[in-house]
Amino acid sequence: MIDTRLKLQNRLETILGNRNVYFQPPDNISMKYPCIRYSLDTVSTNKANNSVYKKDYCYILTLIHTDPDNDVVDKILDMKYSRLNKVYCTQGLYHYVFTIYYKE
């Protein structure tokens, strides 16, 4: 799992254009914007012959941006198995919430 998550981390940093990508950050972390925060949501497994042969990791990803017309949303949507679930604005920050199954 950690190899897959680190590959996702690198991919998100490339898409965002900076290192403001946070995996399950604690509440005391001060984030810099624009940023992406993400966490593991579920793991789906496929089994056969009494063993697991496939694991799919599902992440909840939130892009937090000061610009409502940013191009990062489209870059994330261009990733395979990503879906935009919700958009909202709070305290002048635009939040785009995605579900993504990351496989590589």
pLDDT of residue 51: 87
Task: Tell me the pLDDT tens digit for each residue of 38-62.
Answer: 999 998 888 888 888 888 889 999 9
Look up residue 90 and give its two tokens.
Answer: 């709070």
- What's 38's domain CATH number? 3.30.2000
Q: How many domains does the chain have?
A: 1
Give me the domain span that covers residue 72. Answer: 2-102
Pick 2 or 24 by higher pLDDT.
24
pLDDT of residue 44: 83
| Sheet architecture: strand order including 93-102 | 21-23, 35-48, 51-65, 93-102, 82-90
Rounded distance between C-alpha atoms, residue 30 and residue 51, angstroms: 42
DSSP for 13-73 reads: HHHHTSS-EEES--TT----SSEEEEEEEEEEEEEETTEEEEEEEEEEEEEEES-TT-SHH
pLDDT of residue 8: 94
pLDDT of residue 64: 97
Look up residue 70 and give its two tokens.
Answer: 């940013």
Task: Tell me the pLDDT tens digit for each residue of 59-102.
Answer: 999 999 999 999 999 999 999 999 999 999 999 999 999 999 98
pTM above 0.85, yes or no: yes
Hunting for tokens 């991919």 — which residue is that? 11
